[in-house]
Amino acid sequence: MELDVSGLQVTYAGVIRALRDIDLRVGTGEIVAVLGSNGAGKTTLLRAITGSLKRHRARVDKGQVTFGGRSLVDAHPADVVNRGVVLVPEGRRVFGRLSVEENLKAGAISVRSRATRAERREKVYGMFPRLAERSGQRAALLSGGEQQMLAIGRALMSGPRLLLLDEPSLGLAPQIVTHIGEVLRQINREGTSVMLVEQNAAMALGVADNGYVLELGRVELSGPAAELAASDDIASLYLGRG
Ligand code: ATP
């Protein structure tokens, strides 16, 4: 199933235009990177996809967001999840007082079959052995990298078709960022499309098929990730080269 954003314009409080004429696509089975500096509109784009504009007093003025051909504009956040579009939020936001296992359970709240829940949990533990070792521990006691893995694991418990990640590498050591990149590739190989919103262009373009660069609410550049990684504009803006 494909995510299609076309001609999207979003305004906060009726006056602050945060996105203008955004065209973006995440094809079935693809990994797409969305890059941009602070205030470029990345979070707003994620809100438009996940049904959370209203909660932030924002609305779609023009354009469309569809997943598998059906509109996500004005969808309730829970419906978006039920349709297979799941967000790993910025700052991880695991339930600190709950154990690792309970956090995973919380991600599977809409999954009726106990067998499916158990199967997914084993898959997550297979992907992140550290979480298996610490399954009984409170999430607040995990390291930042482990919490990020738990946040990803929790999202996987609902069986997403499209996984959205908001800055998963933020504040993590390079080695852990590399591991997260590898995990995203594995998740993708197993059939989940991925949209990765990042300020860490090197990691994001390293794992993505295609990429988009947002600036001041517009798509400034887009194309195959390898081409973007090689472009001078990206190098000077995001990779510390240039
Ligand atoms: P960051 O990385 O800092 O989160 P971003 O690329 O995610 O940046 P957005 O948060 O989407 O960018 O912001 C895009 C624009 O929308 C900015 O001009 C911002 O000030 C504005 N904006 C974001 N949230 C709100 C809000 N709740 N109310 C009013 N304006 C907002």
**118-136, pLDDT tens digit by residue?**
999 999 999 999 999 999 9
CATH number, domain containing residue 10: 3.40.50.300
Residue 14 near ligand 1, beta carbon < 6 Å:
no
- pLDDT tier at 219, thresholds 50, 70, 90: very high
Name the nearest CA neighbour of 197 among 186, 207, 182, 188: 207
Residue 40 near ligand 1, beta carbon < 6 Å:
yes
The reply to whether 21 and 59 lie within a common domain is yes
Pairing state of beta strands 31-35 and 193-198?
A: parallel
Average pLDDT over residues 215-219: 95
Q: Which segment of 43-47, 103-107, 232-236 scores lowest on mean pLDDT?
A: 232-236
The token duo for 40 is 């470029």
ipTM of this complex prediction, to 2 decimal places: 0.95
The tally of domains found in the chain comes to 2
Please give the pLDDT value at position 232. Answer: 76
Q: How many other C-beta atoms are found inside a 10 Å radius of the C-beta of residue 42?
A: 22
Q: Are 2 and 68 in contact (CB under 8 A)?
A: yes
The reply to whether 78 and 171 lie within a common domain is yes
Give kind and range of the element (H or E) at residue 67: strand 58-67
Q: For residues 18 and 199, give the distance between their C-alpha atoms in angstroms, rounded to a whole number.
A: 18
Q: Which of 116, 132, 159 is the last residue of a domain?
A: 159
> Is the model's pLDDT at 90 over the cut of 90?
no
> 9, 11, 43: which to mutate for ligand 1, most atoms within 8 A of CB?
43
> Which residues, at least 6 apart from 115, have a Cβ–Cβ distance to it below 8 Å?
none
Q: For residues 71 and 85, give the distance between their C-alpha atoms in angstroms, rounded to a whole number.
A: 12
The reply to whether 73 and 136 lie within a common domain is no
User: Domain of 119?
Assistant: 95-159
Q: Is residue 228 part of a domain?
A: yes
Going by CA atoms, what residue is nearest to atom 29 of ligand 1?
12
